[in-house]
Amino acid sequence: MMELNSIKPADGAKHAKRRVGRGIGSGLGKTAGRGHKGQKSRSGGYHKVGFEGGQMPLQRRLPKRGFKSHLLKFNAEVTLTALNQLDLAEVDLLTLKSAGLVGQLVKVVKIIKSGELSKSVKLTGIGATAGAKAAIEAAGGSLA
C-alpha cells in the first residue's frame, strides 16, 4: 500500500537549481557564468530581440519588398480537370461554391488550362484564360 510519506517524483522530473556566485569551487563563482563585462553581464542589462548594440539591425538593413493584395481572397482558379470531374452541363459561380471547388467568399473565378476537358460545358459569369477558352470551345462548350 502507498504511504503519503513514501511518494516521490519520478526520476529526472526534478533537478537542482543552479546556484551561481557561490565561490571558486562551485565552477560558477566570480562572474557567475556571465562572462566578463558587457551589457549582458550587468544586472538589469537586456536588449530587445534583434538589437545589435546600436548597429543598424538586419531587419532594417534589408529592403522592403513585395506586397500581397488583400483582395486575393475574393479570386479563385479552377482547372479544366476539376471542371471535367464536376459532370455538369451548365456551370456558374453558385454551382462551383456548392461543389466546394471555390471558397464561399469568392467573387471572381477563372478557368485555367491545366489538364484535359472531354465534356461540353456551358460557363456563365466565369472567366477563362486564352488556352482554357480554346480547350472549352474545342470540347463543344461555350463561355457567356
Q: What is the pLDDT of residues 3-28, one digit of tens each?
A: 999 999 999 999 999 999 999 999 99
Looking at beta carbons, which pairs linking 29-35 to residues 24 or more positions away fall under 8 Å?
Answer: none
Instruction: Determine the average pLDDT of the residues in 56-78.
Output: 94
Give the pTM: 0.54
Q: What is the pLDDT of residue 95?
A: 95
Structural domains of the chain ordered from first start? 18-50 (no CATH), 73-143 (3.100.10.10)
Q: What is the pLDDT of residue 60?
A: 96
Distance of CA 142 to the CA centre of its chain: 38
Dump the DSSP string for 35-89.
-SSSGGGSTT----TT-BTTBPPHHHHSPP-----TTGGGEEEEEHHHHHHH--S
Q: What is the pLDDT of residue 46?
A: 86
